[in-house]
Amino acid sequence: MERNSFHLCSYNISYSFHLCSHNICYYTCVTAHANTKSPKSEEDIKAAYRELDFLFGWFANPLTYGDYPETMKAIVGHRLPKFTKEESALVKGSIDFLGVNYYTTNYAANNPAPNKINFSYTGDSQTILSTSKGGHPIGTPTALNWLFIYPKGIYDLMLYVRDKYKNPPVYITENGLADANNASLPVKEALKDGLRIRYLASHLQYLSKAIKEGANVKGYYQWAFWDDFEWDAGYTVRFGMIYIDFKNNLKRYMKYSAYWFKMFLLH
């Protein structure tokens, strides 16, 4: 973890995570929820929560409590910047809502002996993440090797935010599924994205369950409205509910999921 990875700047604006516009302050976190690799292992349970501290608490903890999680301070030590009293007071409780991007969940296992020579963010949490256990994937695979369908994770994460971070107003700012961009598939067939419909329906069901149990979720944004250029995959995958024909003047077609989502919103 680099020392300049995150700190405050003036006027209640922080470069990488905390934006203020028209007096509304918000933070968006890209996260994957972590499950224990071995549910009966106390060390793996601690590892899962520690990973959440490093993935989510790194940002949410200062915004709620004015400082980094104790696990991060204990492990990272002097490499982690320290808040002054003024900075802590400035950032604590400074958001009006929390934006969360949720796509998938990983298994977490304790890794007590990380590389102590070449320090890195991935090693600092002393956790090993994986997408399978006993040869079985955590969920249905998709076109991206990191994205497995695990809808219960969004429910678990919302209750985690409710309980640990004082239940702030939350907007799901990204949630979606990637299809492979199969150039040989006719457009008519590419529009039949039943897996995306199942992904969205199951995640929204779990989100509704979390709301009924007190999670302060205020809104939901699906990723993405139309097929786009993904920062790590380019045009090799399609996240959109609207099909973009990149070979025919960017012509648009509604996928089956777009019709489904329209009916969902109407009812």
Report domain extents, the chain. Answer: 18-266
For residue 216, the SS3 value is coil
Whether the pLDDT of residue 45 is over 80: the answer is yes
Taking the CA atoms of residue 12, residue 13, residue 14 and residue 18 in that order, the dihedral angle to the nearest 10 degrees is 100
Of the pLDDT bands very low, low, confident and very high (cuts 50, 70, 90), residue 66 is very high
Q: Check if 174 is active-site.
A: yes
Distance of CA 134 to the CA centre of its chain: 25
Please check whether residue 78 is in contact with residue 119, taking contact to mean a CB–CB distance below 8 angstroms: no
Query: Which tens digits make up the pLDDT trace of 89-109?
Result: 999 999 999 999 999 999 999
Distances in Å between the Cα of 243 and the Cα atoms of 46, 231, 249, 260 are: 43, 18, 12, 14
Cis ω before 224 (30° cut-off from 0): yes
Crossing angle, helix 256-266 and helix 194-212, to 10 degrees? Answer: 30
Q: Which residue has the higher pLDDT, 161 or 120?
A: 161
Helical H segments across 66-119, by residue range: 70-76, 85-91
Name every residue whose Cβ is closer than 8 Å to that of residue 86 and which is 6 or more positions away in sequence: none
Q: Over range 82-95, report the average pLDDT.
A: 96
| pTM of the predicted model over 0.75 | yes
Distance CA 195, CA 189 (A): 13
Active-site entry in 174, 189, 213, 230: 174
Distance CA 179, CA 226 (A): 12
Quote the radius of gyration of the chain (alpha carbons, Å). 20
Of the candidate CATH numbers 3.20.20.80, 3.20.20.10, 3.40.50.300, 3.90.230.10, the domain formed by 18-266 belongs to: 3.20.20.80
Structure token digits, residue 191: 């529009």
